[in-house]
Amino acid sequence: MRIEGTSEIETNMTEAAQKEPLVLFMPSGKRGRFPVGTPVLDAARKLGVYVESVCGGRATCGRCQIEVQEGNFAKHKIVSSNDHISDKGPKEERYEKIRGLPDGRRLSCSAQILGDLVIDVPQDTVINAQVVRKAATDRVIERNAAVQLCYVEVDEPDMHKPLGDLDRLKVMLEKDWGWKDLLIAPHLIPQVQAILRKGNWAVTAAIHRDMDSSRPFIVGLWPGLKNEAYGVACDIGSTTIAMHLVSLLSGRIAASSGASNPQIRFGEDLMSRVSYVMMNPDGREAMTKAVREAVNGLIGKVCAEGEVDRHDILDMVFVANPIMHHLFLGIDPTELGQAPFALAVSGALQYWAHELDIDVNRGARLYMLPCIAGHVGADAAGATLSEGPYRQDKMMLLVDVGTNAEIVLGNKDRVVAASSPTGPAFEGAEISSGQRAAPGAIERVRIDPVTLEPRFRVIGVEKWSDEEGFAEAAAGVGVTGICGSAIIEIVAEMYLSGIISEDGVVDGAMAAKSPRIIPNGRTFSYLLHDGEPRITVTQNDIRAIQLAKAALYAGIKLLMEKQGVDHVDTIRFAGAFGSFIDPKYAMVLGLIPDCDLDDVKAVGNAAGTGALMALLNRGHRREIEQTVSKIEKIETALESKFQEHFVNAMAMPNKVDSFPKLSTVVTLPERKVSSDDGEGGGRRRRRSRE
């Protein structure tokens, strides 16, 4: 029975019930009438308001805290007062004495309704943190974890009724908590007797209610009251593994961290790892072992940071691109390296974590989100779950740029997805001076359109290169190369300052005008930094970026055609690349279609956020499974129009027919052309083709 706002409960009410106290829960706004004497926890449960409880109303776990809001809530026609709730009884007083209760807090299992009440379910991080704060975005994940802790007191053995100890435990879990047809993780069977006796017949069972079989499972068992359990959300990227450690009971993020994917030693990019498997008989096994060890290491790291025992981790949700997905699960990814790019399995999967050699609680489960297609993996599914194009009316473009770009476009009516072979140029690979994002890497560039002189910023140094004291500040880190995201900015600035033509050719005639234009064989390069090393942007670098951006744009264009739209309402850049690039320059170069800059957002590791959502709310698992089954997958290699869009998108920005509104980006006076400084807008207008 889920009742939101003013609900049918009130309209269908008898007169007697009308006189029952009215209780309103905040912040959900759910309300209902309940007989005098009803515990607040029961009222919350009946209304579907999420209030945690482990001890089952024994006033020992302290998880069910609430606060009474006093006052006249005229809008809701409720006068709420602390006189309308029962005084603390002996159990609640005992809890307060032993474990402490913040001012104004009550245990909802003990506090009874005496009159009209406005109840606040605290959203603080200790008791009931529903708000997950992320670097880039605030997000509320309604909690409905797959694992629930349930405290029970079990009958002692009785020779007259020789039911086994486990069987009597199940009886109480059904009686006190309503769990029917319970199964148990096999490793616990030999432990049941000792745990029951150690707890003097009082134990806490962890129940997993989202097993791929439909029956609930006892996955953990502890003597006495166990009051905390953790989950892990993990995104296995080709380069980086990212992880959140989170309390399943409060939603509090205990730690977030990342680690390098050690598979890099077998091959820098995805395809070289597939090649490694094909060339080495033990290649698949070695890479599976490496990534699982890295995941175990990262679990150790987040547990140390969050001061959590890794054996308190009971549930895990993973996302990964298709090749990482296969290698982590021990599946040979060879088929993904060649057409028709057949996934071994596309649906969501569940395992015992130990089946994948993950060292957490032996009863922990591991859920892997479904893959969308051979090149659009569980990570894209995670990002889709996080950003939710299918949940809204607006047409959302979701782009995650890596070696391939995963592109999802849609709204609540229809979602299409594709992968575009951008190659690694956007990541700084195949770029002559490219390097990883690390101290010393150039991350921001501006080119004076008159003098053609550059100024830049490097990671680890606050000042711009033309500011006083830059040399001193940069002495420690040096200027070592160009990081992936900065490539976009440099090429866009070279275009805006006229160094390169619309076709992407460095204009050799400019060499007479500026010493920055230098010959390089039969072509010309741009000298960005004349130091050690010497950092230049070559004609080949520009070609690589042109190819990459053409592939990305052609993929987007293809999906826009499938959707029958010529613009998108919002754009979400997922992944590290998206976090670092300036959307304005992406639009200048024609990576993405025209869109109001206010509607373009970098959303960080959206795949990891999706994993976190599926971890904290099992409903999101069904949601993304159903969504993925409905997403229309477009294989760019099979679409003849893709080549056409690709060729058109080679130009900078794109040919007018393929990107009609580009020019508006840099001409309309109200467009905010730079978010981090005030200059440039005027100058850039000069590059307008109008």
Question: How near is the Cβ of 95 to a second copy at its closest, in Å?
Answer: 32
Tell me how far, at minimum, the Cβ of 334 lies from a second copy, in Å.
Answer: 8
The DSSP string of 201-216 is: TEEEEEEE---SSSS-
For the packed helices 322-329 and 378-387, what is the interaxial angle rounded to 10 degrees? 120
Please identify, using beta-carbon distances, which residue of 157 and 460 lies nearer to a second copy.
Answer: 157
User: Minimum Å distance from CB 225 to a second copy?
Assistant: 23
Rounded to whole angstroms, the Cα distance separating 376 from 611 reads 16
Cβ distance to a second copy smaller for residue 90 or 162: 162
Residue 284: which residues within 8 A CB-CB, separation 6 or more?
A: 277, 327, 330, 331, 332, 333
- Judged by CB, which is closer to a second copy: 208, or 516? 208
Angle at 581 between CA 240 and CA 444, to 5 degrees: 110
Least Å distance, CB 277 to a second copy, is: 12
Contact assessment for residue 244 and residue 230, using Cβ atoms and an 8 Å cutoff:
no
Rg (alpha carbons) of the chain, rounded to whole number: 29
Q: How far is the CB of 551 from a second copy (least distance, A)?
A: 17
d(C-alpha 412, C-alpha 408), whole Å: 13
Task: Closer to a second copy by CB, 43 or 270: give it.
Answer: 270
Q: How far is the CB of 556 from a second copy (least distance, A)?
A: 19
Cβ at position 147, least distance to a second copy in Å? 17
CA angle 410, 411, 413 (to 5 degrees): 105
Q: Closer to a second copy by CB, 331 or 542: give it.
A: 331
Dihedral sign (CA 291, 294, 296, 302): negative
Q: What is the DSSP string of 167-192?
A: HHHHHHHHHHH---S-EE-GGGGGGH
Closer CB to a second copy, residue 237 or residue 374? 374
Separation in Å, CA 406 to CA 242, 267, 575, 638, 653: 18, 21, 10, 16, 21
Among 515, 590, 516, smallest CA distance to 551 is for 590
Specify the length of the chain in residues: 690
Q: Long-range CB contacts (< 8 A, 24+ apart) of 13-22?
A: 21/84, 21/113, 21/114, 21/115, 21/116, 21/117, 22/77, 22/78, 22/116, 22/117
Residue with tokens 């099979």: 638
Of 419 and 465, nearer to a second copy (C-beta) is 419
Instruction: Provide DSSP, 351-382.
Output: EEGGGGT--S-TT-EEEEPPP-BTTB-HHHHH
CA dihedral 181, 182, 185, 190 (to 10 degrees): -100
Beta bridge partners of 234: 243, 318
Report in angstroms how near the CB of residue 191 gets to a second copy at its nearest.
9
Contact 347, 333 (CB under 8 A): no
Q: How far is the CB of 287 from a second copy (least distance, A)?
A: 13
Nearer to a second copy, 418 or 591 (CB): 418
Which CB sits closer to a second copy, 366 or 571?
366
DSSP 394: S
Would you give the end-to-end CA distance of the chain in angstroms?
62
Sign of the C-alpha dihedral, residues 538, 540, 541, 546? positive
Which of residues 142 and 355 has its CB atom nearest to a second copy in the complex? 355
Report in angstroms how near the CB of residue 322 gets to a second copy at its nearest.
10
Least distance in angstroms from the C-beta of 327 to a second copy: 10
Nearest to 586 by CA among 375, 422, 441, 448: 422
Q: What is the DSSP letter of 506?
A: B
Tokens of 678: 């005030």
Closest approach, Cβ 186 to a second copy, in A, equals 5
Query: Shortest distance, CB of residue 299 to a second copy, whole angstroms?
Result: 20
Which residue's CB is nearer to a second copy, number 642 or number 659? 642
Pick the closer one to a second copy by CB: 25 or 328.
328
Structure tokens at 17: 């019930």
Buried b (16+ CB within 10 A) or exposed e, 655-675: beebbeebbebbeeeebebee
| Closest to a second copy by CB, 569 or 625 | 625
Based on CB atoms, which residue is closest to a second copy, 374 or 590? 374
Smallest distance, a second copy to C-beta of residue 168, A = 9
Other C-beta atoms lying within 10 Å of the C-beta of residue 8: 9
Closer residue to a second copy in complex, CB, 155/677: 155
Least distance (Å) between residue 164 CB and a second copy: 3
**What does the binding site for a second copy look like in residue numbers (CB under 8 A)?**
156-167, 170, 183, 186, 189-190, 192-194, 211-215, 329-332, 335, 339-347, 349, 351, 355, 371-374, 633, 635, 637-638
